[in-house]
């Protein structure tokens, strides 16, 4: 029996590395790899069988997994009052990993898991994606007939497009720019932890990853990346320097980062004036302002328990139809704000559980996992302001890998 358990354990770890390697790429196989990974975790005996020496009792790092599980359970319960059961079922299926990860967080992983190796796979995959997408998009730019072979439809005009504009404007048609950039940022975080102060080895990797992030042209990604860079640079300094010059360094970083962001072309076409009339829907407003305004038309409809998992799309479409904005119905599928999405679908109860889970992650992480938890939470918290990170399985898988990485780094039974 032990022999078969060892074989399954190796397969399990290989599947997790596969999930990590697939993160920067389209999610065709990502979902299956995640489910198979959990199945082999159960078969090895983490949950149903005899625990091994590397199983552990629930600890502080288990708490965020449990709270995320309660949040997922509330999503399931919301099916009792969700009018669209099909949309509810699809949401529950997409978020299934949030429930499956709870026992993993409580009982742990086998001794084969090495966060250094996981980090190396993630960094290599990020570098491959950063090189792969520009080459692929360049080929499609000059040979659009390949789209027919790949069964893709091109919603863009090929005429008068240079390579950089094409890449920055249409990256999301291959892999959503927000999720690709978020994975690249996590890869950068892990690369810094892997190589420490060895900047000569680290610099080429960070340059490639940073170039990929900037070229996506996503405003929230650019802002998030700048903040993570400042925090990461501060932590890279010796403790004596941080304690003495920490505040001046932060101020200089904010001033420099703010200036660079202001000069970026993508920041020039964004105005906060529409926020003052956010509930007044208008074709002249920013798209996200209109979506947020539609979601906030009648907060009393969903304030306490929400409308049910997966019901935000129908609610938004109803508001757009009432205001004569029928074109929005064709492409708006979520609230473009994860916190607002949680409020609409799960009410204050679900939103509170969701926020508490992230707070518990910050408090429960230990050792190397503490800095990773801080940066990972900032990465998600900022990106969730303007998009729904859990509206796609890419976001769910990224969240799961991040939590497992923090779990491995925080586990007292593992060697640093």
pLDDT tens, 379-393?
Answer: 899 889 888 899 888
- 359 pLDDT higher than 90: yes
- Indicate the helix (H) or strand (E) that contains 392: none
The percentage of residues in the chain with a pLDDT greater than 70, rounded to a whole number, is 69
pTM above 0.95, yes or no: no
Contact between 74 and 349 (Cβ < 8 Å): yes
**How long, in residues, is the chain?**
416
In angstroms, rounded to a whole number, what is the distance separating the alpha carbons of residues 375 and 265? Answer: 26
pLDDT band of residue 248 (cuts 50, 70, 90) is confident
Q: In this predicted structure, what is the pLDDT of residue 91? A: 93
Residue 166 CA from chain centroid, whole number: 24
- Report for 116-120, 147-151, 168-172, 261-265: range of highest mean pLDDT: 116-120
Using the Cα atoms of residue 68, residue 73, residue 79 and residue 82 in order, give the sign of their dihedral. Answer: negative
Tell me the average pLDDT across 97-102.
91
Tell me the average pLDDT across 308-327.
85
Q: In this predicted structure, what is the pLDDT of residue 75? A: 95
In angstroms, rounded to a whole number, what is the distance separating the alpha carbons of residues 63 and 71? Answer: 12
In angstroms, rounded to a whole number, what is the distance separating the alpha carbons of residues 226 and 370? Answer: 20
Q: In this predicted structure, what is the pLDDT of residue 52? A: 47
Closest-CA residue to 353 (of 183, 103, 108, 102): 102
pLDDT tens, 252-307?
Answer: 766 766 666 666 555 555 555 555 556 666 655 677 788 888 888 888 888 888 89
Is 306 in a helix, a strand, or coil? coil
- Here the tokens at position 179 are 């999720």
- 1 pLDDT higher than 50: yes
pLDDT band of residue 399 (cuts 50, 70, 90) is very high
Is 354 in a helix, a strand, or coil? helix
Tell me the average pLDDT across 61-87.
93
Helix and strand numbers, DSSP H then E, in the chain:
19, 0
Closest-CA residue to 103 (of 58, 53, 36): 58
């Amino acid at each position: 029996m032990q022999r078969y358990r060892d074989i399954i354990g190796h397969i399990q770890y290989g599947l997790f590395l596969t999930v990590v390697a697939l993160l920067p790429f389209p999610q065709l196989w990502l979902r299956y790899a995640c489910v198979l990974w959990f199945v082999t975790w159960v078969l090895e005996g983490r949950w149903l069988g005899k625990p091994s020496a590397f199983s552990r009792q629930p600890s502080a790092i288990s708490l965020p997994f449990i709270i995320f599980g309660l949040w997922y359970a509330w999503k399931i319960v919301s099916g009792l009052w969700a009018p669209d059961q099909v949309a509810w079922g699809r949401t529950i299926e997409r978020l299934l990993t949030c429930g499956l990860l709870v026992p993993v967080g409580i009982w742990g992983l086998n001794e084969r898991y090495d966060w250094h190796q996981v980090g190396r796979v993630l960094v290599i995959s990020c570098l491959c994606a950063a090189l792969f997408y520009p080459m692929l998009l360049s080929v499609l730019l000059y040979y659009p007939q390949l789209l027919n072979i790949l069964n893709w439809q091109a919603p863009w005009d090929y005429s008068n497009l240079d390579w950089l504009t094409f890449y920055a404007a249409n990256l999301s048609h291959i892999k959503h720019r927000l999720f690709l950039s978020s994975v690249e940022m996590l890869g950068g975080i892990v690369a810094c932890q892997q190589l420490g102060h060895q900047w000569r080895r680290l610099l080429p990797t960070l340059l490639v990853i940073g170039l990929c992030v900037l070229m996506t042209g996503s405003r929230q990604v650019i802002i998030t990346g700048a903040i993570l860079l400042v925090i990461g640079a501060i932590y890279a300094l010796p403790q004596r320097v941080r304690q003495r010059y920490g505040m001046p360094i932060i101020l200089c970083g904010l001033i420099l980062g703010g200036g660079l962001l202001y000069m970026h072309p993508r920041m020039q076409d964004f105005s906060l004036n529409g926020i003052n009339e956010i509930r007044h829907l208008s074709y002249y407003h920013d798209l996200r302002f209109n979506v947020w305004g539609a979601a906030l038309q009648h907060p009393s409809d969903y304030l306490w328990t929400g409308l049910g998992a997966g019901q935000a799309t129908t609610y938004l479409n109803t508001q757009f139809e009432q205001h004569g904005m029928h074109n929005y119905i064709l492409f708006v599928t979520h609230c473009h704000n994860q916190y607002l999405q949680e409020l609409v679908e799960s009410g204050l109860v679900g939103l509170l559980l969701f926020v508490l889970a992230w707070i518990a992650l910050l408090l429960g992480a230990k050792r190397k996992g503490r800095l990773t938890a801080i940066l990972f939470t900032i990465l998600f918290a900022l990106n969730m302001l303007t998009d729904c990170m859990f509206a796609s399985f890419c976001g769910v898988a990224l969240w799961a890998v991040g939590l497992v990485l923090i779990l491995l780094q925080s586990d007292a039974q593992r060697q640093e």
